[in-house]
């Protein structure tokens, strides 16, 4: 295992309970749970170069702030979050470290001076404009929030983060989903932390068979990968550890018959006929074709359109409970349709809104007793949205994503610290269109969750991609 890690990294001794730390650190440290104090010690053992792979709602932000407060010499510090949570980071820093100078970088050009700005917050989307200026400030610490966004080695945000991080002595990656779909996802983070294996070497060892494009979509040697992560890079805790005092999730399937059966079956038959063209070609080869994805997405849209009337009726009944409900959809058209039906008692929260507008509608949902439905979008509303748990313990998925982790992030908007008193369980409603692609997606989703847990938590299950498995499923349907 030692051959995989660059040598020369100093490992510090475990942190003892602090006695005479600056006030900022003391204030944070005294409210940390025991597991968070242990995590802080592990960050020290990793010399401030680690992946904080903790479940959503477990307090990753507070652990990162504690590390910053404990090391006031590590300035300038640069925090890289999604745009939607920049203001939240600024708010938390001002709350716990009020004597720190903080600058939030916006899209337009801004003057940077490391002497005047101890902590700089910049979102991934504009990092390309600033990384050289930031590098010139000689930062001592980089914290990347929602770091699973760096899973694409060739993406601009990953390349810019890599350039910025190459001379920074301390780096913390924060994510509840370090492996979003498959093991290759975590490679960019590990490389920035000191992994000596190349992309190709890592892929051959931990990502199954190679393909011609070197995309490494598989998984292999997951027990070895788990040990590599746990011993050298990753701080990981199970939901049971960090949420033992929180209400459990209660998954409830809401089966729905669609009202556009004929139209759906025509589209399904069209997809099966399309697959006949590639009968002798491996499903993995056609899973990335634009036409394949277009036809699968058509099935998904028809499924949700066919169940929308029944979903609306269900929501009308739920309204009578006078409880708040947080709903997630994949397509904007779904959110728009529901908002049109319930505009007087709902708010929309999706990627079309600015960060300020998202915060405004979120607060309206929390504070306005006459707003019952939070109509969120799986990706835009699953990250950096805190406070919903104060007023809601019911969550629903109108549509599913291609992978399980975005669902986990959405559910954990409610199952987190700060939940209102007296709640016994978090109800998760899954609206599944019977006899459609959604039933198969739900089945595949369970498999995908297991392979992600394999590398991170140490259990082993084989995996195919969602699209590949759907292709194989419909091929079998076509042969009946």
pLDDT, one tens digit per residue, over 245-296 is: 778 888 888 999 999 999 999 999 999 999 998 888 888 788 878 899 899 9
SS3 377: strand
Q: What is the pLDDT of residue 453?
A: 61
Q: What is the pLDDT of residue 140?
A: 95
**What whole-number percentage of the chain has pLDDT above 70?**
88
Which carries the bigger pLDDT value, residue 474 or residue 8?
Answer: 474
Helices (H) and strands (E) in the chain, counts: 18, 13
Alpha carbon separation from 360 to 37, 353, 425 (Å, rounded)? 34, 10, 28
Tokens 């301390």 -> residue: 170
Q: What is the pLDDT of residue 13?
A: 33
Domain with CATH 3.40.50.300 in the chain: 249-479
Rounded Cα–Cα distance for residues 349 and 125 (Å): 20
Confidence class for position 12, pLDDT limits 50, 70, 90: very low
Among 333-337, 420-424, 476-480, the range of highest mean pLDDT: 333-337
Q: Is the pLDDT of residue 69 over 80?
A: yes
Which range is least confidently modeled, 21-35, 50-64, 148-162?
21-35
Instruction: Just give the CATH number of 2-242.
Output: 3.40.50.10810
Q: What is the pLDDT of residue 16?
A: 41
Rounded Cα–Cα distance for residues 85 and 92 (Å): 11
Rounded Cα–Cα distance for residues 92 and 82 (Å): 15
Helical H segments across 255-289, by residue range: 261-276, 283-286
Q: What is the pLDDT of residue 28?
A: 94
Phi–psi pair at 315, nearest 5 degrees: -65, -35
Confidence class for position 18, pLDDT limits 50, 70, 90: very low
Confidence class for position 43, pLDDT limits 50, 70, 90: very high
SS3 395: strand
Report, in this order, helix, strand and coil percent for the chain, each rounded to 5.
Answer: 45, 15, 40
Q: Average pLDDT over the chain, rounded to whole?
A: 86
> CB-based contacts of 154: which residues, under 8 Å, 6+ apart?
none
Q: What is the pLDDT of residue 428?
A: 93
Rounded Cα–Cα distance for residues 199 and 188 (Å): 9
Q: Contact at 8 Å (CB) between 430 and 253?
A: yes
Q: What is the pLDDT of residue 213?
A: 62
* The two structure tokens encoding residue 180: 């979003």
**What whole-number percentage of the chain has pLDDT above 90?**
55
- What is the layout of strands, in order, in the sheet containing 249-256? 249-256, 426-433, 392-397, 324-329, 373-377, 346-349
**Could you report the per-residue pLDDT of 103-125, keeping only the tens digit for each?**
999 876 777 765 666 899 999 99
Q: What is the pLDDT of residue 5?
A: 52
Q: Contact at 8 Å (CB) between 356 and 424?
A: no
The CATH homologous superfamily to which domain 249-479 belongs is P-loop containing nucleotide triphosphate hydrolases (3.40.50.300)
What average pLDDT does this structure show over 215-226? 87
Rounded Cα–Cα distance for residues 24 and 309 (Å): 53
* The two structure tokens encoding residue 316: 């009308």
Which range is least confidently modeled, 47-61, 102-116, 129-143, 179-193?
102-116
**Which residues, listed in sequence order, are joined to residue 329 by a DSSP beta bridge?**
377
Rounded Cα–Cα distance for residues 433 and 208 (Å): 34
Domain with CATH 3.40.50.10810 in the chain: 2-242
SS3 146: coil
**Could you report the per-residue pLDDT of 316-329, keeping only the tens digit for each?**
999 999 999 999 99
Q: List the one residue out of 435, 377, 88, 422 whose CA is nearest residue 260.
A: 435
Q: Angle at CA 61, nearest 5°, toward 77 and 429?
A: 145
Q: Is the pLDDT of residue 467 over 90?
A: no
Which range is least confidently modeled, 82-96, 317-331, 355-369?
82-96
Q: Is the pLDDT of residue 96 over 50?
A: yes
Q: Is the pLDDT of residue 463 over 70?
A: no
**Could you report the per-residue pLDDT of 434-457, keeping only the tens digit for each?**
999 999 898 888 776 665 565 566
Number of residues written out for the chain:
480
What average pLDDT does this structure show over 284-310? 91
Q: Model-level pTM? A: 0.65
Q: Contact at 8 Å (CB) between 442 and 303?
A: no
Helix (H) or strand (E) holding 315: helix 290-319
* The two structure tokens encoding residue 379: 């990706």
Which range is least confidently modeled, 47-61, 161-175, 363-377, 403-417?
403-417
Q: What is the pLDDT of residue 7?
A: 33
């Amino acid at each position: 295992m030692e051959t995989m890690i660059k040598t020369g990294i100093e490992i510090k001794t475990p942190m003892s309970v602090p006695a005479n730390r600056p006030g900022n650190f003391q204030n944070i440290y005294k409210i940390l749970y025991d597991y968070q104090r242990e995590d802080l010690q592990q960050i020290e053992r990793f010399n401030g170069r680690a992946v904080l792979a903790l479940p959503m709602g477990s307090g990753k932000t507070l652990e990162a702030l504690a590390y910053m407060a404990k090391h006031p010499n590590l300035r300038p510090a640069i925090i890289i979050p999604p745009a939607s949570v920049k203001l939240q980071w600024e708010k938390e820093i001002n709350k716990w470290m009020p004597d720190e100078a903080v600058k939030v970088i916006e899209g337009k050009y801004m003057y940077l001076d490391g002497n005047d700005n101890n902590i700089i917050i910049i979102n991934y989307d504009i990092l390309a404009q600033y990384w050289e200026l930031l590098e010139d400030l000689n930062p001592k610490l980089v914290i990347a929030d929602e770091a699973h966004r760096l899973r694409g080695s060739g993406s601009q945000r990953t390349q810019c983060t890599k350039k910025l991080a190459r001379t920074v002595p301390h780096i913390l990656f924060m994510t509840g989903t370090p492996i979003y779909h498959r093991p290759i996802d975590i490679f960019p983070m590990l490389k920035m932390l000191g992994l000596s294996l190349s992309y190709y070497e890592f892929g051959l060892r931990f990502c199954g068979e190679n393909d011609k494009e070197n995309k490494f979509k598989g998984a292999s040697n997951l027990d070895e990968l788990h040990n590599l992560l746990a011993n050298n890079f990753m701080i990981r805790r199970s939901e049971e550890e960090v949420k033992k005092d929180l209400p459990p999730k209660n998954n409830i399937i809401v089966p729905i018959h669609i009202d556009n059966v004929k139209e759906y079956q025509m589209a399904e038959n069209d997809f099966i006929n399309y697959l006949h063209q590639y009968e002798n070609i491996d499903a993995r080869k056609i899973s990335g074709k634009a036409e394949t994805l277009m036809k699968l997405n058509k099935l998904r849209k028809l499924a949700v359109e066919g169940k929308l009337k029944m979903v609306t009726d269900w929501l009308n009944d739920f309204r009578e409970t006078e409880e708040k409900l947080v709903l997630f959809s994949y397509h904007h058209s779904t959110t728009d349709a529901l908002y049109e039906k319930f505009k007087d008692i709902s708010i929309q929260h999706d990627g079309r809104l600015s960060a300020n507008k998202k915060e405004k509608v979120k607060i309206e949902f929390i504070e306005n007793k006459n707003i019952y439905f939070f109509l969120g979008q799986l990706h835009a509303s699953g990250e950096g949205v805190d406070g919903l748990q104060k007023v809601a313990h019911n969550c629903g998925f109108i549509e599913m994503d291609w992978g399980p982790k975005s669902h986990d992030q959405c559910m954990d908007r409610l199952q987190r610290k700060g939940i209102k008193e007296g709640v016994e369980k978090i109800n998760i409603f899954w609206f599944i269109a019977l006899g459609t692609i959604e039933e198969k997606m739900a089945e595949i989703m369970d498999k995908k969750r297991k392979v992600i847990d394999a590398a991170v938590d140490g259990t082993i299950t084989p995996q195919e991609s969602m699209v590949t498995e759907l292709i194989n499923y419909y091929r079998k349907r076509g042969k009946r």
